[in-house]
Chain A
Amino acid sequence: MSASDQQRLSLRVRLAYPGFTLDVDKDIQLAGVTGLFGPSGGGKSTLLRIIAGLERRAAGQVNFGDEVWQSDTSFMPSYRRPVGYVFQDTRLFPHLTVQGNLQFALARRANDLGVAFDEAVSSMDLQPLLHRHVDALSGGERQRVAIARTLLTNPRLLLLDEPMAALDVGRKREILPYIEALQKRFGIPAIYVSHAVNEMARLADNVIVLEGGRITAFGPAADILNREDMQLSASPFDAVTVMEVRVVEHMRALHLTRVDHQGQFITVPMMAGTTEGETARLLVRAGDVVIATEEPRGLSVRNMLIGNLLSISPLQNSAFATVSVDVGGAVIKAQLTHQAVTELGLVTGSRVIALIKAASFDRNL
């Protein structure tokens, strides 16, 4: 049995509620962070709960590697499954301190191998909080404690159920680097649930799309998230492009990072938490992309990506059209006025330059 087989999650499960049926039949090869993405009410949390064994009413089969977690004749209870579950509402125990919550997990794990107490504490910067009462913590702090507590169970599969959904933007920014660093530091395969494209782009390597209780798509994050039907934002005006890039070098003095996008280089604000040579994803809004037909001069924008115009889709009853540009095989979307499209003489196949301000690559949420 190879290691990769052990990280295969086979799901054949069905759970019906009045007015909603979750029906999933899928083998998922778990590698890095798998995003579970889809609209609210699509069954994401329910599927996660089934994997964790928290939905006893679910029928079907759940296998993790060669372990049977659930079948028609058996059901391994939650407390025997090697999963770590991070709840949106943290579910810290209010009768225990931060340290007490962490020790709760430590005292119950099967063996002493794996994540050490000090390691979990330092990875989430919890040292100053250890003796605090959990009711005295901020939302972000609570979630860091919950993640550390989960790590201390030595999970072989991490399940993160919208861990940032209950946090305001400031708190999200505070906790995101911790979540992002989890994979690198501990290497535990994770399933991350969210309905936010930007969280998915930043955190997930592969994305499963769950809509109306069914899996409708599965693939590499950039491929899935760039599909127009996958952008769950309310309006096409919020269209975004997820660019898969390779980190070339960090220019620390300038607080910039140079990345390779399909053989062309661009410079973006320092991507803290990434190492040179690794692949990362950048998110850029179509409204932040400028299209030129020739190389501009005397312009502050430094990032120019040369490509061919792939398509022009007018947005109904508006001044705008979404223009897709093929840059070395990857597509970048720009939002232009119909007037600009006409005056620049843009047609399918035109050679164009996509200009993107460094400031548009906002890695914050």
Chain B
Amino acid sequence: MSINAMPDLGPLWLSLTLAGVTSLILLFLGTPLAWWLSGTSSRFKPAIEAVTALPLVLPPTVLGFYFLIALGPASPIGSFWVRITGEALTFSFSGLVIASVFYSLPFMVQPLQNAFESVGRAPLEAAATLRAGPIDSFFSVAAPLARRGFITGTVLSFAHTIGEFGVVLMVGGNIPGKTRVISIAIYEHVETLNYEAAHILSAGLIVFSFIVLLFVYGSRRWNPIYVR
């Protein structure tokens, strides 16, 4: 293999950073949303669930298109961002994070919601009769019992963000060091017929994704939690 076939690893680090930041934000946003969805009988629940699941069914270009408009400097959000930071949201790393959070939302919320639902009301009622308030009960009972949901949700959000392409391309473009993530880099290597570099990155991504999924499915064997 020639030296110039070795691809630049910058896009890999950018993808990992984007996925890490996105997963972390999703952990903070998705947890209360999943918790609320698991316990509510509100008539808005189906609508919120549907919105949360939208990224699963829509082509990434649809989301990317609207994010491009919503985050653009002409939009209220985009112009507000320009005013406080001096930079545009579109074609920036921050814009990618916002789009990725929405795009990966179902991958965090659904496993968490399922986990909270299978924990059920019973252990929380027991915690309440043992003088644990709602926040205490959440952290000391619901969260530990739903820990598989947290692991699955975080890992899937991370992996899904690594793998996104359409939304990133629409919102972020292809700016090295800012928005050129691994999937974009592969696309460009193929476009420029640099198949060797494309192979290295693509095969690397396949191995990475396999290891992640192996970890998720394998984790079912650790410390089984029996929920009665």
Which residues of A are interface residues toward B (Cβ below 8 A)?
52-54, 77-80, 83-85, 87, 89, 91-95, 104-105, 108-110, 135, 149-150, 153
Q: Is B29 an interface residue (CB 8 A)?
A: no
Contact partners of A95 in chain B: CB under 8 A = 141, 144-145, 225
Report how many residues on chain B are interfacial, defined by Cβ distance under 8 Å.
21
Is the C-beta of B125 less than 8 angstroms from some C-beta in chain A? Answer: yes
Interface-facing stretch out of B59-67, B94-102, B128-136? B128-136
If A91-B125, A93-B123, A94-B145 touch, does A108 touch B130 (CB 8 Å cutoff)? yes
Closest to A96 in B: B144
7 shortest interchain CB distances as A-B pairs: A91-B126, A78-B128, A85-B129, A108-B131, A95-B144, A105-B130, A79-B128
Give chain A residues whose Cβ lies under 8 Å from the Cβ of B58. Answer: none
Q: Please pick, from B125, B126, B128, B133, the residue contacting A93 in the complex, using a CB distance under 8 A.
A: B126
Given A89-B228, A94-B227, A104-B140, is A77 in contact with B128 using a C-beta cutoff of 8 Å?
yes
- B130 shortest CB reach to chain A, Å: 5
Q: Is the CB of A109 within 8 A of B131?
A: yes
Report yes or no: A83 in contact with B126, Cβ–Cβ below 8 A: no
By a CB distance below 8 angstroms, the chain A residues around B132 are 79, 104, 108
Query: B130 touching A104 by the CB < 8 A rule?
Result: yes
A87→B125 CA distance, assembly (Å): 10
Contacts of B228 in A (CB 8 A): 89, 94
| Distance between A151 CB and nearest chain B CB, rounded to angstroms | 11
Instruction: Write out the residue numbers on chain B whose beta carbons fall within 8 Å of the beta carbon of A89.
Output: 122, 228
- B126 neighbours in A (Cβ, 8 Å): 85, 87, 91-93
**Which residues of chain A are near B226, meaning CB under 8 Å?**
94, 135
- Residues from chain B with a CB closer than 8 A to the CB of A149 are 130
Does B125 lie within 8 Å of A54, measured CB to CB?
A: yes
> Of B130, B226, B228, which is in contact with the most chain A CB atoms at under 10 Å from its CB?
B130
Residue of A nearest to B133 (CB): A79
Task: Determine if B131 and A105 form an interchain contact, defined as CB atoms under 8 angstroms apart.
Answer: yes
Rounded to whole angstroms, the CA-CA distance of A83 and B128 in the bound complex is: 10
How many Å lie between the Cα of A150 and that of B133 in the bound state?
16
On whether the beta carbons of A150 and B225 are closer than 8 Å, the reply is: no
* Alpha-carbon separation in the docked complex, A149 to B141 (Å): 15
Digitize B178-208: 1 where CB-to-A-CB distance is under 8 Å, 0 elsewhere.
0000000000000000000000000000000
Q: Are B129 and A52 in contact (CB under 8 A)?
A: yes
Which residues 100-152 of B have a CB within 8 angstroms of A?
A: 122-123, 125-133, 136-137, 140-141, 144-145
A153 touches B141 (CB 8 A): no
CB distance from B219 to the nearest CB of A (A): 15
How far is the CB of B135 from the nearest CB of chain A, in Å? 11
Residues of B within 8 A of A79 (CB): 127-133, 137
The minimal Cβ–Cβ distance linking A253 to chain B, given in whole angstroms, is 45
Chain B residues positioned under 8 Å from A87 (CB to CB): 122, 125-126
A232 to B206, CA, bound (A): 67
A-B contact pairs, 10 of them (CB 8 A): A54-B129, A78-B129, A79-B128, A79-B132, A80-B131, A93-B145, A94-B228, A95-B145, A105-B130, A153-B131
Q: Which residue of A lies closest to B126 (CB)?
A: A91
Q: In the complex, what distance in Å separates the CA atom of A84 from the CA atom of B133?
A: 15
> Which residues 208-228 of B sit at the A interface, judged by CB distance below 8 A?
225-228
Tell which of B122, B131, B133, B136 touches A91, judged by Cβ atoms closer than 8 Å.
B122
Of B127, B141, B145, chain A has the most CB atoms within 10 Å of the CB of B127
Q: State the CA gap A78–B137 with chains docked (Å).
A: 12
Chain B residues in 8 Å Cβ range of A91: 122-123, 125-126
- A68-B156 Cα distance, complex, nearest whole Å: 48
CB distance from B1 to the nearest CB of A (A): 50
CA distance A12 to B167 in the complex (A): 59
Q: Which residues of A contact B136 (CB under 8 A)?
A: 108
Indicate whether A153 sits within 8 Å of B140 (C-beta atoms), given known contacts A89-B122, A93-B123.
no
Among A54, A94, A110, which residue has its beta carbon within 8 angstroms of that of B128? A54
Complex Cα spacing A150 to B227, Å: 20
- The CA of A79 and the CA of B127, in the complex, are separated in Å by 8
User: Within the assembled complex, what's the spacing in Å between the Cα atoms of A53 and B131?
Assistant: 12
Inter-chain contact A94/B122, CB cutoff 8 Å:
no
Q: Verify A78–B140 contact, CB threshold 8 A.
A: no
Given A95-B144, A104-B140, A150-B131 contact (CB < 8 Å): no
List chain A residues, Cβ under 8 A from B130: 79, 104-105, 108, 149-150, 153
Task: State the CA gap A79–B124 with chains docked (Å).
Answer: 11
Kindly provide the distance from the CB of A85 to the nearest chain B CB, expressed in whole angstroms: 4
Note all chain B residues with C-beta closer than 8 A to A108: 130-132, 136
Closest partner residue, chain A, to B130 (CB atom): A105
Docked Cα-Cα span, A110 to B132, in Å, equals 11
Q: How far is the CB of A23 from chain B (nearest CB, A)?
A: 23
User: Which residues in A have their C-beta under 8 angstroms from that of B137?
Assistant: 79
Please report the C-alpha to C-alpha distance between residue A78 and residue B127 in the assembled complex, in whole angstroms: 9
* Bound-complex Cα distance A54 to B125 (A): 7
Least Cβ–Cβ distance between B220 and chain A, in angstroms: 16
Q: Which residues does chain B contribute within 8 Å of A85, judged by CB atoms?
A: 125-126, 129
Q: Give every chain B residue within 8 A of A153 (Cβ-Cβ).
A: 129-131
For B141, the closest partner residue in chain A by CB is: A93
Residue of A nearest to B121 (CB): A54
